[in-house]
A and B are shown apart, each in its own frame.
Chain A
Amino acid sequence: MRSKYAPIAALAALAIIVVLALGWFILIKPQLAEASAFRSAKEDVEASTAKVQTATARLERYSNDLAALAPLEESLAVNAPSSFDVEQARTRIIEAARTAHVGIASMGVEATVGVEGWVVKASERPSTSVAKLFQDLPVVPREGVTVPDAWKEYLPPLEVPGGESSVVAGMYAVPVEVEVVGSYDRMAAFLRALSDPDEQLLLIASLEVVARNEGASEIPTIASAKDGDVILTLTGHMYLLDPTGAIEDEAPGGTSRPAKPSPFEPSDSAADQK
Chain B
Amino acid sequence: MNPLADKYGAAQLASVNLVPQEIAERKKMRAVQLLAVVVVLIALGLVVIGYLGALGAKELARSDLQDAFNAQVDAFDARDERLPVFGAYVQREVSEYTMAQVGWGEIDMAQFVVAIANQASGKQSSFTTIMVVPPSALGASAEGQDPVFGNGVGVIRFSATASSAEEATKLIKRIEAVAGVASVRAVSEEASTNGEDPLWNVEGTALITPSALTMRLVPADSLTGLTGEAILRTLQGLPEPSASPSPEADEADDATTGEGN
Contacts and interface: CB of A to CB of B under 8 A. Distances in A.
Interface of A: 4-5, 8-9, 11-12, 15-16, 19-20, 22-24, 27-29, 31-32, 34-36, 38-39, 41-42, 45-46, 48-49, 52-53, 55-56, 58-60, 62-63, 65-66, 69-70, 72-73, 75-76, 79-80, 113, 115, 117-118, 120, 123-127, 129-131, 133-134, 136, 138-141, 144-148, 151, 154, 157-158, 167-168, 171, 173, 184, 187-189, 191-192, 195, 197, 201, 203-211, 237, 239, 241
Q: Which of B80, B85, B97, B248 counts the most chain A CB atoms within 10 A?
A: B85
B55 A4 contact: no
Interface in B62-94: 62, 64-66, 68-69, 71-73, 75-76, 78-80, 82-83, 85-86, 88-90, 92-94
Given A115-B102, A117-B97, 6 more contacts: A28-B53, A38-B65, A49-B68, A188-B114, A191-B109, A208-B130
B36 A24 contact: no
21 contacts: A12-B40, A19-B44, A19-B47, A34-B61, A35-B58, A38-B65, A41-B65, A45-B65, A45-B71, A52-B72, A56-B75, A59-B85, A126-B93, A127-B89, A130-B86, A167-B93, A173-B138, A204-B107, A207-B109, A209-B129, A211-B129
B82 A201 contact: no
* Chain B contact surface mostly: helix
Given A49-B68, A66-B88, A126-B223, A151 B73 contact: yes
Interface string B209-244: 000000011011111100000000000000000001
Contacts of B248: 123, 129
Top 3 closest A-B pairs, CB basis? A23-B47, A12-B36, A129-B247
Nearest to A161: B90
A211 B75 CA distance: 72
A195 B114 CA distance: 15
B178 to A, nearest CB: 15
Given A49-B72, A126-B89, A32 B57 contact: yes
Interface of B: 25, 29, 32-33, 35-37, 39-40, 43-44, 46-48, 50-51, 53-55, 57-58, 60-62, 64-66, 68-69, 71-73, 75-76, 78-80, 82-83, 85-86, 88-90, 92-103, 105-110, 113-114, 117, 126-134, 136-138, 216-217, 219-224, 244, 246-248, 250-251, 254
A28 B51 contact: yes
Contacts of A35: 54, 57-58, 60-62
B66 A145 contact: yes
Nearest to B220: A70
A239 B86 contact: no
Contacts of A48: 72
A29 B51 CA distance: 8
B66 to A, nearest CB: 5
B40 to A, nearest CB: 4
Contacts of A133: 79
Nearest to B94: A168
A8 B106 CA distance: 107
A29 B47 CA distance: 11
Contacts of A73: 95
A27 B80 contact: no
A131 to B, nearest CB: 6
Contacts of A147: 69
